[in-house]
């Protein structure tokens, strides 16, 4: 059988504070999101340290907001944190731009992430996946996150950037500190738990951004002296209009790459292993039918919904489902909720490796801010599981798992497993 119903062991309480990072330390509180999506799908959400925001919880609404960049701008920030104009400008990346500025920037940086370019990496990624998996399988017990899930994206990103595996380990630690900037396990300066005022002018309000800036400038100097075909060299080339990225734009984009280039793919793989481990019949079905890989990867992406939300800001007054959204109001598009909306997916809490209709929003779905690394993430997830399924009969739990403390990223940061042959 290629599916199981009610795939999650714990859907959480129905009254969770979805703004609280602590509400996610046992997993996503899906029961709360289901209740809100049913009762109040455009929900005014109060914040302890902010002005409040509108939660967009249904699939169709999330899709509409994502596509309407004139009404719902990214230029005020993509996270719920409120910033003044100086902070916003200092932290600006492609993700905080709207067309046409976003279009110019994306053309400049997208060369290494097109579907055709990513397909050219397949043999290299598969070789890396085999190397990583066989290193891990020298042991019968290990933490899947550390031994496999973080290794492949990190090593591949290092190769794309033209740097070493040694540098890759630093990139992983910095990326953890960025996307895990609310989790004390990943940073000495967790936002809202410590004073981070001194870092308010750098991305993610994290000192790791400063370390990445310094590293990026060293790499830029090397490529200017000796250009190659790696991603850093491509980023330093002028765009079609002859205007290259400024040092500020370059630093911030490299920081974005470090943040997004490892953690999200790592957590997607880890969520999948956790589910398949809890439902070994799914592992058996996929192992028996390798042709499930394409649909299985899309189901993994839908159900994991690692990036739980992005923020937009209303540019004008607008009504949605009877609610009056005012110009300047913050909006959170909750992708984890949209991806479990029965109006968007039949039996949304069914984990179906053969699901045919699966237009999920794990990557933002066809708007201008569609995830730049979508094709790379798909390939890395697919190849890891294709190679694991050849070598592993089953994983079993081997200790407690630990979830990331974050209302932004749904991550499993520790997953002890035992290999059963």
Residue partners of 68: CB distance under 8 A and separation at least 6: none
Distance between CA atoms of residues 114 and 370, nearest Å: 12
**Cα-trace Rg, the chain:** 21
Q: What is the pTM of this model?
A: 0.94
Please, which residues bridge with residue 45 across strands? Answer: 53
How are beta strands 318-320 and 323-325 bridged, if at all?
Answer: antiparallel
The 10s digit of each residue's pLDDT in 287-312 is 999 999 999 999 999 999 999 999 99
The answer to whether 339 and 348 have CB atoms below 8 angstroms apart is yes
Distance between CA atoms of residues 143 and 80, nearest Å: 32
Q: What's phi and psi for 313, nearest 5 deg?
A: -130, 130
pLDDT of residue 195: 76
Distance between CA atoms of residues 421 and 419, nearest Å: 6
Q: What's phi and psi for 177, nearest 5 deg?
A: -65, -30
DSSP 302-347: HHH--B-EEEEEESS-EEETTEEEPTT-EEEEEHHHHTT-TTTSSS
Task: Describe the strand order of the beta sheet including 141-143 as a list of residue ranges.
Answer: 141-143, 416-420, 394-397
Distance between CA atoms of residues 213 and 247, nearest Å: 9
What domains appear along the chain, each with residue ranges and CATH number?
Answer: 3-420 (1.10.630.10)
The 10 Å CB-count burial string (b at 16+, else e) for 41-79 is bbbebeeeeeeebbbbbbbebbbbbbbebebbbbbbbbb
The answer to whether 348 and 341 have CB atoms below 8 angstroms apart is yes
Closest CA to 18 of 411, 306, 408, 314: 408
Distance between CA atoms of residues 286 and 306, nearest Å: 22
Residue partners of 34: CB distance under 8 A and separation at least 6: 11, 14, 337, 340
List the structure tokens of 13: 């309480």
Mean pLDDT, contiguous 10-residue spans, the chain (421 residues): 90 96 97 98 94 97 95 94 86 85 80 89 96 97 97 90 87 89 89 81 88 94 92 82 82 89 93 97 97 97 97 98 98 98 97 96 83 94 98 96 97 97 76
Helical (H) or strand (E) element with 69? none
SS3 content of the chain, % helix, strand, coil (to 5): 50, 15, 40
Distance between CA atoms of residues 394 and 49, nearest Å: 45
SS3 label, residue 45: strand
pLDDT of residue 193: 74
pLDDT of residue 241: 64
Closest CA to 53 of 421, 383, 311: 311
How are beta strands 402-403 and 412-414 bridged, if at all?
Answer: antiparallel
The 10 Å CB-count burial string (b at 16+, else e) for 367-388 is bebebbbbbbbbbbbbbbbbbb
SS3 label, residue 417: strand
pLDDT of residue 109: 78
């Amino acid at each position: 059988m290629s599916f199981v119903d009610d795939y999650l062991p714990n859907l959480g309480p129905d009254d969770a504070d979805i703004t609280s990072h602590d509400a996610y330390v046992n997993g996503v509180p899906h029961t709360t999101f289901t209740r809100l999506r049913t009762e109040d799908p455009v929900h005014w959400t109060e914040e302890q340290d902010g002005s409040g925001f509108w939660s967009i919880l249904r699939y169709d609404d999330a899709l509409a907001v994502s596509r309407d960049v004139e009404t719902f701008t990214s230029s005020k920030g993509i996270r719920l944190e409120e910033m003044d104009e100086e902070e916003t400008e200092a932290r600006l990346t492609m993700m905080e731009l709207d067309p046409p500025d976003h279009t110019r920037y994306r053309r400049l940086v997208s060369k290494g992430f097109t579907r055709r370019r990513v397909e050219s990496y397949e043999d290299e990624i598969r070789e890396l996946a085999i190397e990583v998996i066989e290193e891990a399988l020298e042991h019968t017990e290990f933490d899947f996150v550390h031994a496999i899930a973080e290794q492949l994206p990190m090593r591949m990103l290092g190769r794309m950037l033209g740097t070493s595996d040694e540098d890759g380990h630093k990139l992983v630690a910095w990326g953890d500190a960025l996307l895990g900037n609310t989790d004390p396990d990943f940073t000495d300066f967790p936002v809202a738990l410590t004073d981070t005022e001194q870092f308010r002018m750098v991305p993610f309000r994290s000192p790791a951004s400063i370390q990445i800036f310094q590293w990026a400038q060293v790499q830029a100097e090397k490529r200017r002296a000796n250009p190659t075909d790696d991603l850093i060299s491509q980023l330093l080339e002028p765009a079609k209009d002859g205007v290259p990225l400024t040092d500020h734009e370059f630093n911030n984009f490299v920081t974005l790459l470090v943040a997004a280039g490892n953690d999200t793919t790592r957590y997607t793989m880890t969520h999948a292993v956790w589910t398949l481990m809890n439902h070994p019949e799914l592992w058996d079905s996929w192992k028996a039918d390798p042709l499930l890989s394409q649909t299985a990867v899309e189901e993994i992406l839908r159900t994991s919904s690692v990036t739980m939300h992005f923020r937009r800001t209303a540019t004008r007054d607008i009504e949605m489902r009877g609610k009056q959204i005012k110009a300047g109001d913050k909006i959170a598009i909750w992708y984890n909720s949209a991806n479990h909306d029965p109006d968007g997916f039949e039996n949304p809490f069914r984990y179906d490796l053969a699901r045919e209709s699966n237009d999920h929003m794990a990557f933002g779905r066809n708007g201008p801010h569609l995830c730049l690394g979508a094709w790379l993430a798909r390939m890395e997830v697919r190849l890891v599981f294709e190679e694991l399924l050849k070598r592993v009969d089953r994983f079993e739990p081997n200790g407690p798992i630990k979830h990331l403390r974050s209302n932004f990223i749904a991550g499993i940061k520790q997953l002890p497993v035992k290999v059963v042959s």
